[in-house]
Structure 1
Amino acid sequence: MDRNWTAAELAEILGDWATAPGPLYRRLAAALTVAVEAGDLGTGERLPSERELAQAFRLSRATIVAAYDLLRDAGTLDTRRGSGSRVRGGPGKRGISGAESGTAVVRRLAAGPGPLISLARTAGEPPTDLAAELAALAAEDLPALLADAGHHPRGLPVLRETIADQYTADGLPTTADQIVITTGATQAISLAITCFVRRRATVVVESPGWPGCLDAFHAAGARLVPVGLDAEGAAVAELAPAFAAGPALAYLMPTFHNPTGTLMSAARRHRIGELAAQHGVPVLEDNAYCTTLGTPPPPPLAAYAPRGATVLSVGSVTKTIWSGLRVGWLRAPAPIAERIARLKTLADLGSPVLDQALTARLLSRPRPPDTEPLRRLAHLEAALRARLPDWRWRRPDGGSALWIELPDMDARVYAQVALRHGVEVVPDATHIRVPFTLPAATLTELAERLGRAWDSR
């Protein structure tokens, strides 16, 4: 009832309203109406002033006034001197909360593709051998799969064994009973949250972080404690006191952190493992973004953890093979893997068997180094330097995106401007994330749209 929305928070709720047809004031009024009807904006909650919203969205104050006037005329908004503009509505109108329905990134992913060039997605092209492996699966493996009960809540045994063997080869001895197959890395994270995190519990996370992952912690009612990054990964000077405070969980991305592309050093992984054991803090390491750009990563953080430390490792083929193959996994100590398997059974009784069988085939084949990401990265960097020479970034160690610092501008404000030029930007206060996995022609057009948005800011 007493919530006062800031312009930045409202931008997250409204999403890509500026890309709809019609005058801007009508688009804004329509988007606010939808937010009220969906329950994202609750009765009695205060909206930003016309002046504040105009400044944040880089619109004229007249546009905001006209939008608010439409809402007042429709009975959706009530404005009183000294009280500001508040949402009107009857009791019980409020639906799911903003935390439960996710940030703008999650909302647009759920809505599906649109006319925007979306920087919330980093999917590349599927491998050339995907069709051949699928045909071989149908010819060679399908009869045995059809004869099976098809019920594997922990995951298809051959896939669990394949993943366990890969961890062992990478320096982390693993058995199949330590692996639980999930429907993508997102489900793996959600299962770990269910296992360790209760409402109002504290979770240590890196800052910056990826909103799509952090939303899962917000939805669970966790209190997030951010720690910064340096060139070696999560900063120990901030991690040590955060761990000493006894959080329920620490969520880290040591291998090609999203969105910065930072690769955590072996020494830093070892130190974090020591801290986890010393303070009894479970660590969830998310290594789903493991596309290398030439720097091979060290073994997972779990390989450096001493006896007594609890480290769960998340992996996925969604970023490394194909975004349509929604297969992920959790690697954990066997007793915790058993708990996760029970939660997985409650969630969906097991991930699709055919997807798992295909993944097992793809993971068991040696794959030559993929040089296409480096070519696309170089193409994007050249296009941005030509069109936006004042922008600055550090070439990532791996992953799929540039983390670009905007000079002298709030990135959240720029995101609103970019929407009106056909680009969905994922910002924090000073940076934006720009994937380089799109086709070269799209990357060229992307740089031009970003440049037009920058010129009109």
Structure 2
Amino acid sequence: MEGNVDRNRQAPGLDELIDLLGDWSSGEGPLYRRLTDAVGRAVRSGDLRTGDRLPSERRLADALSVSRATVVAAYDALRGSGLAETRRGSGTQVSGGAVAHRLPVDGRVRGGQATAVVQRLITQPPDLISLGQAAEAGGPDLTRALLDMVREDLPGLISDAGYHPAGLPALREAIAAHHTVHGLPTEPGQVVVTTGATQAVALSAQLFLGRGSTALVESPGWPGCLDVLRAAGSRLVGVPLDSDGVRIDRLAAALAEHRPALLYLMPTCHNPTGVLMSAGRRRRVAELAAEHGVIVLEDSAHAAGLAPGQAPPPIAASPAGGTVLTVGSLAKAVWGGLRIGWIRAPQDTVARLARLKALDDLGSPLLDQALAARLLPTLPALAPERARIRRERLATITRLLAEHLPDWRWQAPQGGSVLWVQLPGGTDARLYARVALRHGAEVIPGATMDATGAHDDYVRLPFSFAPETTAALVDRLAAAWAALSRSAGPRCATTCQW
């Protein structure tokens, strides 16, 4: 059986193993049986392979916040089914006979942080409130625009061949007008339409990054986009934030030391901190990037729903020169199911991106683009009402948190729809997330959102839910906090500072 072991492969570490187990504690039956089944699924899928060592019983029990007896019983069951074996001095490992006939399957990004969030999007566990999403349901404006599009635009659309790799001309014109109104003069030829903001980031990474390259990113940031940069072969270097945006002193030092190929920033409604980068800070970023010859990728996916003047002009509006790509999206402004994003860039860069887009999918769906072209000009008029709803939902969740979790601390966000919450007493947010999952809440630990692994006592908490869902969420978070406190014993009650 030893011949089936891949000696060049690194077995999953403890945190990666727990991500593979996913929502293991849901379902029926004893807790040890649910853990047994989850490890068995990882073996049969090929995510755990012959010879992979499993953590010690005590270490896994501590990491999952369960009793050691639960893990002991699970390992016994795995050995009994032939999926694991224990060797003196070597611990417990995946049995060779259990997977000798299988080809390894591994679609995960090594070192990726968004794996568990993406997996739960696929599996959609019942009755789970996921904090991995901060999107709102579509409103009546979406329905009206869709009906108008079908009635007025559909005949002309279906007579078209349907292939527009750079985007539907009407949508490119609408995006150009949108940026112009928000302080960034733009021509349609400077726009390429993408299937969501994630594809926009991926195409940009494909164009400017490669194996062994370096990208500077904010610490913290959104793990899905950080994983996209990693998947392009890039090494990520984190730069910290303050209340004004990315710190200029640390950015200047990182540019000089690491000579990166790309600088990825989220200056408007930063995810997860809610920081709004000031106009002066944006200007200095543009100047530093131009000085060092670094491409700037500014992710403004959360900015489309803002009215003109609610945020400073994009970094690309700076006269400093250099190459700046601006990413936009309708997912946060309209509806997460409308997978329309874009990149605004110099025309020669747009031509190269359009070629990559054509190789990827020959162009985003035309009907979606036609709907987006109708919606984009209406967003400034809708912005006040959407802002009112967000204020009400922010007030709701902060009131409930103050009532049920008074030791949790956060700073009021300047934009967006998430709170960046610090847990008291230096609590490991990964451990809390594992307990919260058993109470029906998917929490995103801060360390998974930081390329440096810092912020390990923070969690990201969206407030985009309807009030009844928010109430249920806070109840689950409070129950999980109480359960963790009981299992960990007395913990620090001092107030945690931002």
TM range (shorter): over 0.9
Cα separation, 2, equivalents of 1:201 and 1:39: 30
1:28-427 alignment, distance < 5 Å: 28-89=35-96, 90=100, 93-99=103-109, 103-112=115-124, 114-244=126-256, 245-290=258-303, 296-304=310-318, 306-307=320-321, 309-365=322-378, 366-368=380-382, 369=384, 370=386, 371-408=388-425, 409-427=427-445
Unaligned runs of 5+ in 2: 1-6, 447-455, 485-498
CA deviation vs aligned residue, 1:163-205 (integer Å, no higher than 9, x gap): 1111122121211111000111111111111111112322211
Cα separation, 1, equivalents of 2:103 and 2:302: 40
2:58/2:68 contact within 8 Å kept: yes
Cα separation, 1, equivalents of 2:229 and 2:260: 13
Q: Which of 449, 453, 467 is the equivalent residue of 1:440?
A: 467
Offset, 1:145: 1.6
CA deviation vs aligned residue, 1:400-428 (integer Å, no higher than 9, x gap): 11111111210000001001111111112
Cα RMSD of the aligned pairs, angstroms, is: 2.0
Cα separation, 1, equivalents of 2:469 and 2:207: 41
Letter in 2 for 1:424: E
Letter in 2 for 1:423: A
**Range with greater deviation from structure 2 (121-130 or 390-399):** 121-130
**Range with greater deviation from structure 2 (130-139 or 414-423):** 130-139
2:299/2:327 contact within 8 Å kept: yes
Offset, 1:325: 0.7
Cα separation, 2, equivalents of 1:117 and 1:148: 42
Letter in 1 for 2:123: A
Partner of 1:225, secondary structure, is strand
**Range with greater deviation from structure 2 (281-290 or 214-223):** 214-223
Cα separation, 1, equivalents of 2:308 and 2:49: 49
Cα separation, 2, equivalents of 1:228 and 1:43: 40
Letter in 2 for 1:65: V
CA shift in 2, pair 1:257/1:196, >3 Å = same
Cα separation, 2, equivalents of 1:109 and 1:319: 17
CA shift in 2, pair 1:342/1:288, >3 Å = same
CA shift in 2, pair 1:293/1:13, >3 Å = farther
Query: If the length of structure 2 is used for normalisation, what is the TM-score?
Result: 0.87
Offset, 1:360: 0.8
Query: If the length of structure 1 is used for normalisation, what is the TM-score?
Result: 0.95
CA shift in 2, pair 1:268/1:84, >3 Å = farther
**Range with greater deviation from structure 2 (267-276 or 404-413):** 267-276
Partner of 2:391, secondary structure, is helix
Cα separation, 2, equivalents of 1:413 and 1:293: 40
Cα separation, 2, equivalents of 1:250 and 1:37: 40
Offset, 1:389: 0.6
Letter in 1 for 2:61: A
2:479 is aligned with 1:452: yes
Cα separation, 1, equivalents of 2:85 and 2:309: 57
Partner of 1:194, secondary structure, is helix
Aligned residues: 456
Partner of 2:161, secondary structure, is coil
